[in-house]
Amino acid sequence: MNYEFFIAKRIIGSKAYKSSISAPIIKIGIAAIAIGIVVMMIAIATGVGLQQKIRDKVVAFNGHVTITKYDSNNSQESIIPISKNQEFYPEFKSVEGVSHIQGVAAKFGIIRTETDFEGVYLKGVGADYNWSYFEDFLIEGKLPDYSTKRNEDVLISQYLANRLQLKLNETFQMVFRKDDPEKLTNIITYQIVGIYNSGFQDFDANYVIGDIRHLQRINRWGDDQIGNFEVFINDYNKIDEKGIEIYKNIPSILNSETIKHKYASIFDWIQIFDTNIYGIIGIMILVAGINMITALLVLILERSQMIGILKAIGSNNWSIRKLFLYNASYLILIGLLWGNIIGLGFLFVQKYFKIITLPEETYYVAEAPVYLSFSYVLALNVGTLVLCLLMLLIPSYIITKISPVKAIRFQ
């Protein structure tokens, strides 16, 4: 054990240290570190959590990458079909990191009830559809099954169900126009087997999920024709890279578009959260560092006589500075310990009990989401400790200016 660490340990353990003039300032410094780590932890957990929740809701309705015909218009309705007989379907083996691909179609129609009507898109899906996202959205009933014969089961949003006064297991008629205005419209009677709520009103108000085979029949498409492909990838952070790879590995008559490009305004908005998080982290570390600088300066002034004695018996300036940095490290670690206990405790309570709610129409979620990861908690703690210690190197330089003779005589 080096003697600097030994002396720092004795100072920390002494009763005089705990009842000294600097004790209140030290407690303020520890509190600043604890509050800082709590605020930073909450900022990251809720900021990243909100980003992921919103992103997942957009992915649920579109996949990460959409593959369409080049000559398709900008409408959400599927006009020109694509054959499912592609090299990349049903498994996109040419691009690593693709987890799933599915064929879907959409057609505009009018929901008609005895008292109301509403224009929506029927999103037709088949046996290859990935229901994992909608399992989280489902609030009543069950998910439809389109793996057997064609059926009239649909999944409708809570928003549309409330607006049209529809309930689980009830039926409604949906009217689809034909390309030829002189021909009679198609009318299909659907049954509600499940009600979902994604919290994303832009999608909930516009989509009903049904059997794609109805749209194939109405559009006079073959069983192997769909409106577009939706591609899912394993790692969202690689979406730009995978989007380019997917584009290069599809036929020239097809086009691909990532959700980041398709819904640029939404993703630009959630990208701002990163700037807010970095700003909060910077401010909290600066405040905590300034408080620790104040505490260290008070400790140095309070121990001026001890510094003079140590210099008189041969200790160099760096050795004495290390002694006080050890002391400061202990205080920072105490602050980090309390900050982690309070911060993680709060985040776990929010994650499992959802005590803090948010306006869903603004944030697309009903409660503040929490993202917990050991990696960012560790990085926060190590980063705070290192940056605070670096900030303390400059004020510790004052030790080099203390004269042994004057310090020993100082009262």
Is 400 a residue whose pLDDT tops 70? no
Q: Is residue 262 very low, low, confident or very high in pLDDT (cuts 50, 70, 90)?
A: very high
| HEC-encoded secondary structure of 153-193 | EEEEEHHHHHHCCCCCCCEEEEEECCCCCCCCCEEEEEEEE
Cα dihedral 30→32→37→38 (10° resolution):
110
Name the DSSP letter for residue 355: -
Nearest residue to 227 via CA among 8, 395, 81, 402 = 81
Is 314 a residue whose pLDDT tops 80? no
Mean pLDDT (whole number) for 291-295: 86
Summarised one tens digit per residue, pLDDT across range 91-135 is 999 999 999 999 999 999 999 988 888 999 999 999 999 999 999
Summarised one tens digit per residue, pLDDT across range 81-99 is 999 999 999 999 999 999 9
Which of the two residues, 279 and 319, has the higher pLDDT score? 279
Is 408 a residue whose pLDDT tops 70? no
- 79/90 Cα distance (integer angstroms): 22
| Global pTM value | 0.83
- Return the residue matching tokens 């380019």: 244
Mean pLDDT of the chain: 88
Summarised one tens digit per residue, pLDDT across range 217-233 is 999 999 999 999 999 99
pLDDT score, position 259: 95
Q: Is residue 60 very low, low, confident or very high in pLDDT (cuts 50, 70, 90)?
A: very high
Mean pLDDT (whole number) for 282-296: 88
pLDDT score, position 216: 94
- Percent pLDDT > 90 in the chain is 60
- By three-state DSSP, how is residue 368 classified? coil
Mean pLDDT (whole number) for 286-297: 87
Q: Give domain limits for the chain.
A: 3-56+267-409, 71-252
| CB-CB contact of 229 with 220 (8 Å) | no
Summarised one tens digit per residue, pLDDT across range 368-387 is 899 999 999 999 999 999 99
Is 335 a residue whose pLDDT tops 60? yes
What is the CB-side half-sphere exposure of residue 233 using CA atoms within 13 A?
Answer: 21
pLDDT score, position 95: 94
Q: Is residue 366 very low, low, confident or very high in pLDDT (cuts 50, 70, 90)?
A: confident
Range of lowest pLDDT (17-31, 141-155, 260-274, 388-402): 17-31
pLDDT score, position 378: 95
pLDDT score, position 115: 84
pLDDT score, position 19: 59
Q: Is residue 80 very low, low, confident or very high in pLDDT (cuts 50, 70, 90)?
A: confident
Write the CA distances from 55 to 49, 77, 196, 270, 363, integer angstroms.
10, 23, 17, 9, 12
pLDDT score, position 16: 54
Summarised one tens digit per residue, pLDDT across range 147-202 is 999 999 999 999 999 999 999 999 999 999 876 666 768 899 999 999 999 988 88
Q: Is residue 406 very low, low, confident or very high in pLDDT (cuts 50, 70, 90)?
A: low
Nearest residue to 48 via CA among 258, 256, 351, 298 = 351
